[in-house]
Amino acid sequence: MDLTGARWRKSSYSSNGGATCVETAMAGPMVAVRDSTDPDGPKLAFTGRDWDAFLTQVKDQCLQLH
């Protein structure tokens, strides 16, 4: 997957100015994810459906903790 020119985005919920978080970018129909502290390092890619399922699980877990 070519991510040249991808517009990486940090969550508005990131603490510490977003220095230690993940970033996402749209890459066609895929959602790419990388570590903000290692932007040239490995990247993961998910389908939109899988990414939505992941976010739903994270939100559900956070709600259970509070």
Instruction: List the chain domain ranges.
Output: 9-65
Q: Quick one: 28 exposed, middle or buried, by C-beta within 10 A (0-12, 13-18, 19+)?
A: exposed
Order of all β-strands in the sheet with 30-35: 9-10, 22-27, 30-35, 43-47
Q: With bands split at pLDDT 50, 70 and 90, how would you rate the model's confidence at 4?
A: confident
Owner of token pair 């939100």:
59
What confidence score (pLDDT) does residue 66 get? 74
Span 40-57, average pLDDT: 95
Instruction: Give the residue-averaged pLDDT of 21-28.
Output: 91
